[in-house]
């Protein structure tokens, strides 16, 4: 989706250059102005997705403009342009809410990648904001987040399936949000006023599970000193969510099959048959066809459960949702921990986007929670996330995630990745001595400083007590 970009610079030649580059290469609508106050008036009317502003301007500097923009509309993204000599100020701008900064003279590819990254995030955020508002008003499953095509299909299917009585099977790797889909189906159904009862088939020991599910009568076994309601009775009129159904024992699979087929069950130790009006939703991270082939899961129960099927994608298949999910978790855990962290720095977000996440959304949530705990400023930085300790990618490997990106963006990210790893090793080998590291690398010291700033690297972590510049 194309958006509107407002460029603010007191040099008209720069405005003309940026307008031509952005219009020709991205197709986004571009507005320009030399007056920061005029820019603010346009923000007030809405419709602007991104502001690219120079840092040094006579009427109002870029930092002041950034602060005023965020006061008027926090959803507007801001990118700051700066000369090399004022990088420190540009870094400060990112702490105050700027999405990124670009140094002059800039590479054409660099500014185009920055724009597309920001505009893609703005598009997903805007669409998800509209979607969540609609869901909260009509469907009630706003806890599910995503703007990628694969997640939109899941949202559409939830809207179709929720009002029906169909039994649902949700499959997918651990941490992909299977339970959230179950909650969304229930809260959007005609049974929403009744209970959603969740039974985790793995957590409860097998010898207790039958009693928990079906209930028991007094004297049914040692310790059964009174009648006990089961989860089926608790879920009557509502929904029973059977999580990790692939771990259910063969005996209980047989009894569950009868319950689903006939709507009847018998409490443990009881003689009378009881009726149950329940909608069934089951979930598993196992591949049930393989479990059936191995004789561990009943084929007839599988077909009873698999009336409607949701297959939840791993996070690497919906990588475009990572910024949105990250911001959601940041807001959640900042509030829980009483912190005022409001944003994630661009370098940290790029690192998050480059990971492969074997633990899926749950792993991303854990990373952000840990980052919030260790963060001491209002901006979550790369060092707060401790990503290097988890070895997501071997340092010499080509990140598999880059194969999903357009050439120019993949190239730019690969260059950034090379800079980070090369500078990291260079400084380690020279104990944080920038002058010696630059000499060893055969580059100017000022250029090494610039690369360090762009990569978010400082010398403090590399210095031994006697090291210096």
Token reading at 447:
């250029």
Token reading at 238:
């509502």
pTM of the model: 0.61
**Could you give the residue range(s) of every CATH 1.10.8.60 domain in the chain?**
317-455
- What pLDDT does 349 receive? 84
Fold for 4-126, please state it.
Rossmann fold (3.40.50)
Contact predicate 32/6, CB 8 Å: yes
Token reading at 30:
């571009």
- What pLDDT does 1 receive? 59
Instruction: State the pairing for strand pair 279-284/274-275.
Output: unpaired
pLDDT along the chain (469 residues), means of 10: 87 90 87 91 82 90 89 86 68 76 81 83 65 49 75 91 94 92 92 91 79 81 77 92 91 91 85 88 94 94 95 91 89 90 82 87 92 87 74 47 64 73 78 82 81 68 45
**Could you give the residue range(s) of every CATH 3.40.50.2300 domain in the chain?**
4-126
**Could you give the residue range(s) of every CATH 3.40.50.300 domain in the chain?**
140-311
Domain 140-311 classification at class level: alpha beta
- The helix (H) or strand (E) run that includes residue 279 is strand 279-284
- The helix (H) or strand (E) run that includes residue 427 is helix 407-429
SS3 per residue for 351-403: HHHHCCCCCHHHHHHHHHHHHHHHCCCCEECHHHHCHHHHCCCCCCCCCHHHH
- What pLDDT does 140 receive? 43
Q: How far apart (Å, rounded) are the C-alpha atoms in residues 101 and 426?
A: 25
Q: Which residue from 318, 320, 238 is spatially nearest to 279, judged by alpha carbons?
A: 238
Contact predicate 308/269, CB 8 Å: no
- What pLDDT does 351 receive? 85
Contact predicate 72/92, CB 8 Å: no
Q: How far apart (Å, rounded) are the C-alpha atoms in residues 8 and 3?
A: 17
In this structure, what DSSP letter does residue 466 have?
Answer: T
**CATH architecture classification, 317-455:** Orthogonal Bundle (1.10)
């Amino acid at each position: 989706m194309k958006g509107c970009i407002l460029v603010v610079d007191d040099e008209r030649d720069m405005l003309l250059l940026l307008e031509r580059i952005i219009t020709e290469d991205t197709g986004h609508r571009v507005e320009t102005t030399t007056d920061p106050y005029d820019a603010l008036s346009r923000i007030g009317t809405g419709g602007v997705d991104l502001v690219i502003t120079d840092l040094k301007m006579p009427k109002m500097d870029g930092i002041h403009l950034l602060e005023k923009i965020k006061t008027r509309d926090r959803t507007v993204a801001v990118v700051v342009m700066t000369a090399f000599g004022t990088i420190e100020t540009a870094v400060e701008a990112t702490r105050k809410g700027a999405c990124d900064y670009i140094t002059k003279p800039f590479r054409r590819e660099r500014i185009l990648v920055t724009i597309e990254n920001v505009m893609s995030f703005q598009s997903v955020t805007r669409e998800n904001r509209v979607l969540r508002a609609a869901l909260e008003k009509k469907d009630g499953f706003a806890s599910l987040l995503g703007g990628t095509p694969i997640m939109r299909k899941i949202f559409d299917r939830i809207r179709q399936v929720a009002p029906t009585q169909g039994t649902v099977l949700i499959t997918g790797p651990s941490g992909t949000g299977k339970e959230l889909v179950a909650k969304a189906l229930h809260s959007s159904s005609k049974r929403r006023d009744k209970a959603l009862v969740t039974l985790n088939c793995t957590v409860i020991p097998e010898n207790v599970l039958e009693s928990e599910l079906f209930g028991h009568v007094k004297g049914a076994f040692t310790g059964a000193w009174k009648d006990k309601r089961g989860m089926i009775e608790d879920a009557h009129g509502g929904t029973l969510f059977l999580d990790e159904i692939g771990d259910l024992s063969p005996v209980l699979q047989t009894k569950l099959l009868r319950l689903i087929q006939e709507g009847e069950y018998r409490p443990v130790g009881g003689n009378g048959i009881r009726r149950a009006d329940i909608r069934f939703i089951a979930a598993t991270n196992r591949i049930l066809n393989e479990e059936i082939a191995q004789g561990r899961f009943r084929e007839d129960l599988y077909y009873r459960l698999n009336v409607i099927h949701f297959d939840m994608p791993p996070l690497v298949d919906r990588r475009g949702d990572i910024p949105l999910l990250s911001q959601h978790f940041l807001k959640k855990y900042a509030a829980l921990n009483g912190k005022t962290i409001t944003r994630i720095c661009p370098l940290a977000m790029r690192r998050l986007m480059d990971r492969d996440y074997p633990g899926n959304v749950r792993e991303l949530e854990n990373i952000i929670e840990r980052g919030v705990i260790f963060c001491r400023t209002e901006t979550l930085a790369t060092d707060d996330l401790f990503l290097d300790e988890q070895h997501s990618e071997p340092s010499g490997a080509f990140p598999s995630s880059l194969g999903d990106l357009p050439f120019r963006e993949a190239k730019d990210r690969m260059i950034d990745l090379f800079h980070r790893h090369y500078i990291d090793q260079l400084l380690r080998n020279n104990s944080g001595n920038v002058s010696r590291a630059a000499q060893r690398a055969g580059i100017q010291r000022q250029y090494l400083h610039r690369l360090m700033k762009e990569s978010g690297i400082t010398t403090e972590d590399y210095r031994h007590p006697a090291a210096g510049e």
